[in-house]
Copies of this chain bind each other. A is one copy, B any other.
Amino acid sequence: MTVKQLSLPELADACEALGVTQVGLWREPVQAYGVEAAAKLVRDAGLTVTTLCRGGFLTAISPAERATAVADNKRAVDEAAALGTDTLVLVSGGLPAGSKDLPGARERIADALAELGPYAEEHGVRLAIEPLHPMYASDRCVVSTLAQALDIAERFPAHQVGVTVDTYHIWWDDQAPAQIARAGAGNRIHTFQLADWTTPLPEGVLNGRGQIGDGAIDMRAWQELVEAAGYTGAIEVELFNDGLWARDGREVLTETTDRFRAHTRP
């Protein structure tokens, strides 16, 4: 998503040229290219798919909408398995229109995971609940903290449901270090993502994630916490940023790998 201006073949080429061997993919471009074709493309380029983003949006109240969402998440699990990744990231969904009930919405996510967790396990896929920054609580994700994400995840086996740790969403939270330790102790850190916090936020606050190093977040400090908690998986960089998307994709990918090396430890 960081370089969504690149087509999948362009992305595979650029990764190969830069020595990048792992990539996180999003469903929309994969579906547009064809799931099997995308799987072959990345395989042939020697790329490993770290995660598929994203399932979720499981907060609807109406039974019909809930059934549609669960079916879509099962397709997302199938796609993850086809791409050879073991992790599907979940963005939980916001409040249904007219609702002011955050705890109720969180309960409906847990209800849906009771069906999706076993389905994912059968396909060799783990679900990774991603807490999103509290500024998305009403319209995108009622799970706002790692503690809330773990409260839901821990109702299920860790190989079914864990969490996504994304610096952009948790950097402000003084409880997050302890929650990272809790997640690690339970083998529930299913992926670790980086983005920096820059201001002013753009209208809609969706596409203003900062390039690594441009903002307020100490990336190395979070990396150390996550690794101290036992995480040994890939570190993803996920930037939603209109400014980066307007530039040449290969140039942005090069810059991003440079920034990644400068702001993380080996």
Looking at the complex, which one of B100, B148, B172, B203 makes contact with A134 (CB distance below 8 Å)? B172
Contact pattern, A 199-223, Cβ under 8 Å of B = 1, otherwise 0:
1111111000000000111100100
The answer, yes or no, to whether A173 is at the interface (CB within 8 Å) is yes
A99, A102, A216: residue with the most chain B Cβ atoms closer than 10 Å: A216
The answer, yes or no, to whether A192 is at the interface (CB within 8 Å) is no
Nearest CB of B to A106, in Å: 8
The answer, yes or no, to whether A103 is at the interface (CB within 8 Å) is yes
Contact pattern, A 221-237, Cβ under 8 Å of B = 1, otherwise 0:
10000000000000000
The answer, yes or no, to whether A133 is at the interface (CB within 8 Å) is yes
Looking at the complex, which one of B99, B148, B200, B216 makes contact with A203 (CB distance below 8 Å)? B200
A residues 102-148 in Cβ contact with B at 8 Å: 102-103, 133-135, 137-139, 144-145, 148
Give Cα distance in the complex from A200 to B95, angstroms.
Answer: 14
Query: Which residues of chain B come closer than 8 Å to A218, judged between CB atoms?
Result: 100-101
The answer, yes or no, to whether A44 is at the interface (CB within 8 Å) is no
Interface residues on chain A, size class: 20 to 34
Q: Are B216 and A95 closer than 8 Å at their CB atoms?
A: yes
Q: How many copies does the complex hold?
A: 2
Given A95-B216, A216-B95, residue A135 in contact with residue B100 (CB < 8 A): no
Nearest CB of B to A155, in Å: 16
Q: Are A199 and B133 closer than 8 Å at their CB atoms?
A: no
Q: Are B172 and A102 closer than 8 Å at their CB atoms?
A: yes
Give Cα distance in the complex from A237 to B95, angstroms.
Answer: 24
Looking at the complex, which one of B102, B200, B204, B217 makes contact with A100 (CB distance below 8 Å)? B217
Looking at the complex, which one of B139, B201, B217 makes contact with A205 (CB distance below 8 Å)? B201
The answer, yes or no, to whether A197 is at the interface (CB within 8 Å) is yes
Q: Are B135 and A205 closer than 8 Å at their CB atoms?
A: yes
Q: Are B144 and A173 closer than 8 Å at their CB atoms?
A: yes
Give Cα distance in the complex from A4 to B68, angstroms.
Answer: 47
Give Cα distance in the complex from A98 to B138, angstroms.
Answer: 31
Give the top 4 A-B pairs by smallest Cβ distance, nearest first. Answer: A137-B172, A138-B216, A134-B172, A135-B135
**New contact pairs (14) apart from A138-B197, A148-B174, CB-CB < 8 Å:** A95-B216, A99-B216, A103-B174, A135-B135, A135-B201, A137-B171, A137-B172, A137-B216, A138-B199, A138-B216, A144-B173, A145-B174, A200-B205, A205-B205
Q: List 14 A-B contacts (CB under 8 A).
A: A99-B216, A100-B218, A100-B221, A133-B134, A134-B134, A134-B172, A135-B135, A135-B205, A137-B171, A137-B197, A144-B173, A200-B203, A200-B204, A200-B205
